[in-house]
A and B are shown apart, each in its own frame.
Chain A
Amino acid sequence: MYSPAAKAVAEKLGLQTGRANLEEFADTLLALAQANRNVLAVTSDSRGSGKLGPFGHALPKQIVEVGIAEQNLVGIAAGLGSCGKKVFAVSPACFLTARSLEQIKNDLCYSDHPVTLVGISAGVSYGALGTTHHSLHDFAVLRAINNITIVAPADNFEAREAVRVCAGHDKPVYLRFGKAPLYTLPAADTAPFTLGKARELRAGHDVAFLASGETVIHALLAATHLAETAGLQCRVVSVPFVKPLDHAAVLAAARECRAVITVEEHLVNGGLGEAVAGLIAQAGIATRFKIVALPDEYTVTGSQAEIFRHYGLTMEGLSATAQGLLDRN
Chain B
Amino acid sequence: MPTDHELALKSLLYRRNLLRWIKHAGAGHTGGSLSCVDILNVLYNRILRVSPATFSDPRRDRYIQSKGHSVEALYVVLADRGFFPESDLATLCGYQSHYVGHPTRHVAGIEQNTGALGHGLPLAVGTALASKLDDAGFRAFTLVGDGELAEGSNWEAALAGAHYQLDNLTAIIDCNTLQITGRTRDVMNHEPLSEKWSAFGWAVRTVDGHDLAALTAALEQPLEAGKPSCIIARTTKGKGVSFMEDVGKWHHGVPSDAEHAKASAELDAAIAQLVGGAA
Contacts and interface: CB of A to CB of B under 8 A. Distances in A.
Task: Report if A and B associate in a common complex.
Answer: yes
Interface of A: 40, 61, 64, 66-67, 69, 71-72, 74-85, 102-103, 106-107, 110-112
B58 A84 contact: yes
Nearest to A105: B116
Given A71-B122, A106-B113, 19 more contacts: A40-B133, A61-B133, A64-B129, A66-B160, A67-B156, A67-B159, A67-B163, A69-B156, A69-B160, A72-B125, A78-B126, A79-B126, A79-B128, A83-B62, A83-B134, A107-B112, A107-B119, A110-B113, A112-B105
A75 B123 contact: yes
Given A61-B133, A71-B122, A80-B130, A106 B156 contact: no
A148 B140 CA distance: 27
B33 interface: no
29 contacts: A61-B133, A67-B156, A69-B159, A69-B160, A74-B122, A75-B121, A75-B122, A75-B123, A75-B125, A75-B153, A76-B122, A76-B123, A76-B126, A76-B129, A77-B126, A78-B123, A78-B126, A80-B126, A80-B130, A81-B126, A82-B130, A83-B131, A83-B134, A84-B130, A85-B130, A106-B116, A107-B112, A111-B105, A111-B112
Interface string B117-145: 01101111111111101100000100000
Nearest to B122: A75
A111 B102 CA distance: 12
Contacts of B152: 71
Contacts of A84: 58, 130
Interface in B190-244: none
Nearest to B159: A67
Contacts of A78: 112, 122-123, 126
B115 interface: yes
Interface of B: 58, 62, 104-105, 111-116, 118-119, 121-131, 133-134, 140, 152-153, 156-157, 159-160, 163
A72 B156 CA distance: 6
Interface majority SS (helix, strand, loop, mixed), chain A: helix
Contacts of B131: 83
A82 to B, nearest CB: 6
Contacts of B124: 79
A81 B62 CA distance: 13
Contacts of B156: 66-67, 69, 71-72
A67 to B, nearest CB: 7
Nearest to B130: A83
B25 to A, nearest CB: 21
A81 B112 CA distance: 11
Contacts, number: 99
A106 B115 CA distance: 9
Given A77-B126, A84-B58, A72 B112 contact: no
A271 to B, nearest CB: 26
A99 B104 CA distance: 24
A79 B111 CA distance: 10
A262 B125 CA distance: 42
A85 B126 CA distance: 10
B160 A102 contact: no
Contacts of A80: 126-127, 129-130, 133
B116 A79 contact: no
B23 to A, nearest CB: 28
Contacts of A107: 112-113, 119, 122-123
Contacts of B118: 71
B183 to A, nearest CB: 26
A67 B161 CA distance: 12
Nearest to A62: B133
A292 to B, nearest CB: 36
A77 B118 CA distance: 15
Contacts of B125: 72, 75-76, 79
B153 A72 contact: yes
Given A106-B114, A111-B105, A112-B105, A79 B129 contact: yes
Contacts of A64: 129
A79 B130 contact: yes
A106 B157 contact: no
Contacts of B104: 110
Contacts of A71: 118, 122, 152-153, 156
A82 B126 contact: yes
Contacts of B126: 75-83
Contact of A75 (B62, B105, B157, B159): B157
Q: Which of B119, B131, B152 has the most CB of A within 10 A?
A: B119
A146 B121 CA distance: 24
A102 B119 CA distance: 9
Nearest to B59: A83
Contacts of B112: 78, 82, 107, 111
